[in-house]
Chains A and B, each alone.
Chain A
Amino acid sequence: MRAPYIVVCVKQVPDSAQIRVHPVTGTIMRQGVPAVLNPYDLFALEEALQIKDRLGGRIVALCMGPPQAEAVLRKALSLGVDDAVLVSDRAFAGSDTLATSFALASAIRRIGQEQPVDLVFTGKQTIDGDTGQVGPGVAKRLGMQLLSYVCRIPILDMDTRSIVVHRWTEKGLQVLQSRLPCLITVLEGVSEGRFASLPEMIRAARQPIRIWDRQAAGIEDLTKIGLKGSPTVVGKVFAPSRRAERAECIGWDASQPGEAAARLWEKILARQPEMAGKISSDHGGENGQKGVSS
């Protein structure tokens, strides 16, 4: 049995939870916003590492970005990835998802020259772009089977090169059987991530990272990358409009909270009279809906 050869695509993103918009100018305030490994990619890394724990093999982490994106590859190395490739070239600037998928697919083809790639993992989306389009795009460009929103991989058989996954959908899970090579986008929360051990962190800090420019990544056609290779253009960026008037505030006396509630309900009914028809007087929880707090 040949051990699996796996590529995990990762991205460095600004921590969107910390991004603030300037209240007056409506522009993004980037100062001091830290760059992090896209959180969804951690689940892709974990899934790949679990396969390596079981079956052995090798994992290469692949990232496209500016030179400082090396930091997220170090993070991947510290978690147990064997090798890291950073694809970095000014020619990639301005790439949209179509151009990005072209560059990543080219790099994966290059990685596959050493040994054919069996599996490519990506997160389900990034937190800055939130598109979820790059993984499926890479699969299409490589002619790999696409298995998106995967939450479990019950079977991976390297002898028959077959794989069974659970693919999440809004209504349930699809149990799909496919054949390697394939690209899997991993759903969040499928596993507890692991922490890097100190020796691993030291190893990761010392290990060389391969940095490929456009030529090294095997990209000849300049019309497929960067601005030229991107069909979409941003027309305008603007702050969401606010409603003209604020909420009508219902004043109340601290000693009469019941009255405040009654007044609020009156207002609701005035605007949405049909609410009266929806009321259930079910006082107990026995035959009501299930509790939701966990």
Chain B
Amino acid sequence: MSEAGGKPVEKKGTGRRKAALDPRLAEYRGVWVFVERDDQGVHPVAWELVGAARALADQLGSEVGAVVAGGTVESLDSDSREAVAYGADRVYQVAHPVLAGYRNEPYAKLLCELVKKHKPEILLLGATSLGRDLASSVATTLETGLTADCTELAIDRESRALAATRPTFGGNLLCTILTLNYRPQMATVRPRVLPQPKKDHGRSGQIQKEEIDLSEEEVVTKLLEFLPHVGGDQVDLSLAEVIVAGGKGLQRGANFSLLEDLARTLGGEVGATRAAVQAGWVDAQRQIGQTGKTVRPKLYIAAGVSGAIQHRVGMEGSDLIVAINTDPNAPIFEVAHYGIVGDALTLLPLLTRTVRGQAVAERTTPLGACGLP
């Protein structure tokens, strides 16, 4: 499991783990977040990370730093103020034309230089296509430890190191990874596994301008064009408030229309297990779990989903989980709050009808302006 990002600490003996940190590393202080953003705004994972960084920094007695960078100054200011409102003490703000649109080379150079200059103890990024690309390059250049796709962050009491927990062996187990004698300690964290922190516009923090010494001529790779994913067939399940998910228990792809009906009625989205995606019943972007999306909606209805661990890791953070399955021993009932043992094909349409019936009833009551735009 070399690529799982570590090896058993026992093999090294406990001596190393307790050894005092190299004095050159002890000067690394502060918990940093790279704020993923573009002209349309900030990726929500950035604020989730600022919230986590706040808790870690409070425990370590240090500061939260946020790196906010982009091609032009506009919107950097408001994003920087947001970073403070979510919990940052200091924002390192960088505007330069080479930073318009993400490219590995200028962003990796920027982040490496900022780290060398200010020496943060911990550096966190979102486990997105951008964050994973950038974090890997930065960690390699700085020759430090990087833990991918974490689901939990804490401080190890004994070593004062970042304890980054991530699923391993296809989600069957969790492992906690430490970076002991290297700084900064880096991790990428999946969107939506950490809660969104509360915003406090009364917080104060410093916004500090930084520069990058790089000209467009020096950057090899050029961004020619951006082709947005076309509207209708793109969904972001990670932001959905209601998800109605189906698995193999639905038997046929056509039966997913039952999920669609309920999802539409509840203003939600349809999700699926890996098995359903592999059967070709649903598009891969609706896959939830270890190799799909992580979601934490307010309501998650699992219909005909057995609840393999690989699926559960992607949805167990949901506020309310309801499971419908014919097998009373299905593991989905271990994570669900409410369960019905029965055939989803029978129960789904009835649930949809019940919910719709309620809508009609509410609209006919005198005060029933409920939920209609």
Query: A278 and B371: CB pair below 8 A?
Result: yes
Within 8 A of B (CB), among A161-193: 164, 166-179, 189
Please give me the residue from chain B that is nearest to A11 by CB atom: B3
Q: For the complex, what is the distance from the CA of A221 to the CA of B14, rounded to whole Å?
A: 25
Whether A96 contacts B7 by the Cβ 8 Å rule is yes
A24 lies within 8 A of chain B by Cβ: no
A199 beta carbon closer than 8 Å to chain B: no
Which bucket holds chain B's interface residue count?
Answer: 35 or more
B182–A291 CB distance below 8 A: no
Instruction: Please state if A129 and B226 are interface contacts (CB–CB under 8 Å).
Output: no
Interface contact A175-B342, CB-CB below 8 Å = no
Residue in chain A with minimal CB distance to B168: A237
Kindly identify which residue among B3, B8, B223 contacts A129, using a CB–CB cutoff of 8 Å: B3
Q: Mark B1-40, 1 if CB is under 8 A from A, else 0.
A: 1111111110110000100000000000000000000101
Q: How far is the CA of A249 from the CA of B271 in the complex (A)?
A: 23
Chain A's closest residue to B263 (CB) is A289
B74 interface hit (Cβ, 8 Å): no
Q: Check A232–B145 contact: CB distance below 8 A.
A: yes
Q: Which of B146, B233, B253, B265 lies in contact with A282, CB distance below 8 A?
A: B265
Residue interface mask A130-174, B partner, CB < 8 A = 1: 111111110111000111110000000000000010111111111
Q: Do the beta carbons of B299 and A272 come within 8 Å of each other?
A: yes
The reply to whether A271 and B320 form a contact with Cβ atoms under 8 Å apart is: yes
Inter-chain contact A227/B12, CB cutoff 8 Å: yes
Residue of B nearest to A267 (CB): B338
Over the window 331-348 of chain B, the binary record of Cβ atoms lying under 8 Å from chain A Cβ atoms (1 yes, 0 no) is 001111111111000110
Q: Which residues on the B side are within 8 Å of A239 (C-beta)?
A: 172-174
Q: How far in angstroms is the closest Cβ of chain A from B174? A: 6
Interface with B: A45-53, A70-78, A208-216, A250-258, which one? A250-258
In the complex, chain A residues whose CB is within 8 Å of the CB of B223: 174-176
* Residues of B near any A CB (own CB < 8 A): 1-9, 11-12, 17, 38, 40, 101-105, 108, 128-130, 132-133, 135-137, 139-141, 143-149, 156, 163, 167-170, 172-182, 220-229, 232-233, 236, 241-242, 253-254, 256-257, 260, 263-270, 280-284, 286, 290-291, 298-299, 309, 312-313, 319-323, 328, 333-342, 346-347, 350-351, 353-356, 358-360, 362-363, 370-371
> 16 A-B pairs, CB-CB below 8 angstroms?
A16-B169, A98-B145, A131-B148, A133-B3, A137-B136, A172-B226, A233-B8, A233-B9, A242-B335, A243-B335, A249-B328, A257-B346, A278-B267, A281-B359, A290-B232, A290-B233
